[in-house]
Structure 1
Amino acid sequence: MEHELENMKRGDQPGEIDKKKWVYDSSVDYRGRIPLRASTGVWKASLFIIAIEFSERLSYFGIATNLITYLTKVLHQDLKEAVRNVNYWSGVTTTMPLIGGFLADSYLGRFRAVLISSFIYLMGLGLLTMSELIPSLKHCNMDKCTKSTKIHESMFFLSIYLISVGTGGHRPSLESFGADQFDDDHSEERKKKMSYFNWWSFGLCCGLLFGVTVVVYVQDYVSWGVADIVLTVVLAITIVIFYVGRPFYRFRVPEGSPMTPMLQVLVAAIMKRNLPYPSHPTQLYEVPKTEKTQGRLLCHTPKHKFLDKAAIIEDDDVMNSVNLCFYVFLAKRYSYKNVQRKLAIADCYEKDGTEFMA
């Protein structure tokens, strides 16, 4: 309270004080309230996220790099069969983020998607470790063998495909969840966000480096079981670290399928394809300020101008319930453009620093 009074003495308006104290970017804290800027987000939250990214990349590359060696030397598959199995696994691993990203954005939320996928990932690593340590699950019960046991093969493939599912939740959600910890409308946090991506890449590269060197060395010269134990323990520790950071996170509430408003805007643009463009973007329909919730809209861009057709106001729009149905989602029309083109935050501001909305 005393801090707010000092700000008012300096001439700050109450609204400006609120923006300094609270985060109005559509995010909430872990209790579902508007986040307090001083105690949530930024680096106090991002470090937890970078830690689990390091362990996930460590596990993934530690397994993927030496996978074909394991299939040929431990499971005694011929090279052709081993390459085919690696390609199948790589294809599934590459496809899963499409499903994971959709579920995270539409229903689960990024934090929950990362947490669930982390436990699935850990389950896969746990099964992989068990298949190497438990005698009845080992690839061979004799000193020398030319073929692995069926139960070991089943356990092995089940574990690596569980890891694929876990990767599908991590890759589309974790980096975005880290970016959610920074408010783009706050100049200082916007600068820190750029630094966050640098440190994110550093954590990712460290995980990759240790995965393809240290983990592979342990697999080749110590044992596969020891390497699996290391990966499982490291991931388990970072999952705990990630969850401990929950009070510091800023969360975005999932708003249903992002495809729905995108398709509605596209249909509205097609329906109005014969209408002329207005002379200025400010003549396009915009959500009234009284209906705007916390958060901000992306600025108008000259790219993909055809989509602006959806926001052209017709004389009979007030009476046309079909068009009004589309207008409800026009606040998100620029997210459709943003899917097709990366939009720098700086582009949303004119030279005088004011945000231009249309």
Structure 2
Amino acid sequence: MTAASSIISPLLSNDVVNLAVDYKNQPAIRSTSGGWRSAVLIIGVEIAERTAYTGISFNLITYLTGDLGQSTATAAANVNAWFGLSLITPLLGAVIADSYLGRYRTIVVASIIYVLGLGLLTLFAVIPSNSTDCDANSSSCHPPLYQLILFFSSLYLVAVAQGGHKPCAQAFGADQFDAEDLEECKAKSSFFNWWYFGTCTGTLVALTILSYIQDNFGWGLGFGIPCITMSTALVVYLLGTMSYRFSISSDEKSPFMRIGRVFIKATRNRTLASSELSFNEQAREILSDQGSQQFNFLDKALLSADCSKEDEKVCSISEVEEAKSVLRLAPVWASCLVYGIVFAQPITLFTKQGVTMNRSIGSKFQIPPAALQAFIYLAVLLFIPVYDRALVPIARVLTRKPAGITMLQRIGVGLLFSVFSMLSAALVEIKRLQTAQDYGLVDTPDASIPMSIWWLVPQYVLLGLADVFAIIGLQEFFYDQVPGELRSVGLSLYLSIFGVGSFLSSILISVIQKSSSTNGRDGWFSDNLNRAHLDYFYWLLSGLSAMALVMYLYIARSYIYVRRVL
């Protein structure tokens, strides 16, 4: 067999995956690349990455209010700002991956930055502080300025690394399945369930083990373990290189250039009469068949200024459809922002609630307050198999859809659970404040209120159920409803919901605290939580969540899917 025939032969086989190559840049063979063999490895890497990231983020407010001596409102605002940025930077990472480096190389670069940031955090934690700036009524001290610069620089370095790793890893994992093959298409839908199962496993490990180490053995070890974990993940990821499939574009142009050209061309042609589009009836028929009645102003990108279809600068129908598919995501994205605000509460205010409550198990062991977030992920881990193996098959019979229910229906159920979570949080906080008052502990914030921390479990579990539906639904929706070359961007858009939500939470907390603490009042977020009113904030969020759900349902009913994959 000649060299040429050895290349052509696999191309004629049904075993070749369309628009995918292997690590040698040869056509990817279905039987020897991708699939679950590669996806499981990438999920394993994600488990390690989530362990490292959660080990930093979910107990960060304890470190800021303890070792760095910040107030509750300041620490909550700092955590929300950092958490928000770490979920906004994926937009930049996705652009770099989809236009320049590719997902595989972007993950490698991001992982190296990750290890560097975690290493510097560990260095900060083990360097003894030379500061004598300590509060007279507290054991906490404020580190010198150069150490604070090192700490926050390292922290934001982790946020930048997260921006490259998070959207690319999930998209790269989903790329291991061929959407044109029926069995692999079904496997891809399950992949999003098991991907989130893996992320919750890593998160659960961090919450139950790392939070205890940080509270009892110090932050040097608490930051060092995530650094080692992320280093191990990078090595494992590189070892799997020969088994991966790498997606390639069917168009030499950058997807951003194609979409950007549509908007520019449509803007330039905005003065042309709509009737002038009639020159291309075939295009109009195709656009109508594809459900493109939304955002019709972009159709003008199909025309040149002199109405000539010979102009090379005229956009193609597929390019216009790409632009519309991205624009259609905006209303769904906006309607989920309140859910992003709710998502930010467990790592800040929920944790501070737990600090004030009875955390004893036996005579010696104290539950780390951040560890209670484990119930979110326990709920996820327990319910995902039930959803994937029981509810989906039943729903498939009823709806005749491969995924059981549509992606937007799944998201809507999750948003409903988030409303219930905030209602539960408000009711429990009312009970906590009443208990503090009954036992005369209102003005002794350091005393443990005789109310078990287990009262907080329902609000965590309800958020876990919300995540099973909303987060996984959002992941699949934003991956599926964008052009293939923009899937990293799609997943970064999903992540940006929680990034913007965290920023909005930070702004809300700052504005409310400032307005509610005038004339000598303590405010909703007083450092003395027994005089604060977190219950008011939770009532506010439950109301906003309910209104956002109504808006979402209206938007979801009118949404037109790009292609029938459900």
Contact 1:29 1:251 in 2 (8 A): yes
Contact kept in structure 1, 2:51 and 2:205, CA below 8 Å? yes
Equivalent position amino acid for 1:332 in 2: E
1:73-222 correspondence to structure 2 within 5 Å: 73-133=66-126, 137-139=127-129, 146-222=141-217
Shift of residue 188, structure 1, vs aligned partner: 1.5
Is the alpha carbon distance of 1:265 and 1:19 closer, same or farther for their aligned partners in structure 2, counting shifts above 3 Å?
farther
- Normalization by structure 2: what TM-score? 0.50
In the alignment, which residue of structure 2 is the partner of 1:300?
A: 290
Q: CA deviation at 1:334?
A: 2.4
> Residue in 1 aligned with 2:255?
258
Please name the residue that 2:244 is paired with: 249
Q: Which amino acid aligns with 2:308?
A: D
How far apart are the structure 2 equivalents of 1:256 and 1:153?
44
CA distance in 2 between counterparts of 1:187 and 1:21 reads 13
Which amino acid letter does the alignment assign opposite residue 313 of structure 2?
Answer: C
CA–CA separation in structure 1 for the residues paired with 2:175 and 2:273: 36
What letter matches 2:319 in structure 1? K
Aligned match of 1:48: 41
Q: Kindly indicate whether structure 1 or structure 2 has the higher relative contact order, using CA contacts under 8 Å at least 6 residues apart.
A: 1
Offset of 1:51 from its aligned partner? 1.5
**Per-residue deviation, 1:125:** 0.8
Letter in 1 for 2:113: I
Is 1:334 the counterpart of 2:321? The answer is yes
Deviation string 1:7-52 (CA, Å, 9 cap, x unpaired) is: xxxxxxx99983522111x222222222111111111111121112
* Structure 1 unpaired stretches of 5+: 2-13, 287-298, 351-358
Is the contact made by 1:129 and 1:228 (CA closer than 8 Å) also made in structure 2?
yes
Query: Which string of whole-angstrom CA distances, capped at 9 and with x for unpartnered residues, describes residues 235-270 of structure 1?
Result: 111111111111111223476643321232234456
CA distance in 1, matches of 2:81, 2:564: 46
Q: Is the 8 A contact 2:179 2:185 kept in 1?
A: yes
Structure-1 separation of matches of 2:217 and 2:151: 19
Aligned residue in 1 for 2:274: 274
Provide the rounded CA distance (Å) in 2 between the counterparts of 1:176 and 1:274. 38
More helix by share: 2
Q: Which runs of 5+ in 2 are unaligned?
A: 2-7, 133-138, 330-476, 483-560
Residue 89 and residue 16 in structure 1: after superposition, are their counterparts in 2 closer, same or farther (change >3 A)? closer
1:18 corresponding residue in structure 2: 12
Given that 1:281 and 1:300 are in contact with CA atoms closer than 8 Å, whether structure 2 keeps it comes out as no
Residue 203 of structure 1, CA deviation: 0.5
**Structure 2: distance between partners of 1:164 and 1:110:** 18
Structure 1 contact 277–312 (Cα < 8 Å) conserved: yes
Partner of 1:317: 308
Instruction: Give 1:122 shift.
Output: 0.9
Matched residue type, 1:36: I
Matched AA of 2:81:
Y
Selected match of 2:50 from 50, 53, 57: 57
Which residue identity lines up with residue 275 of structure 1 in the other structure?
S
Aligned-residue RMSD, C-alpha: 3.5
Q: Tell me, what secondary structure is at the counterpart of 1:27?
A: strand
What is the rounded CA distance, in whole Å, between the counterparts of 1:161 and 1:313 in structure 2? 46
**1:344 offset after TM fit, Å?**
7.0
Percent identity for Structure 1 against Structure 2: 33
Q: In the alignment, is the contact (CA less than 8 A) between 2:49 and 2:202 conserved in 1?
A: yes
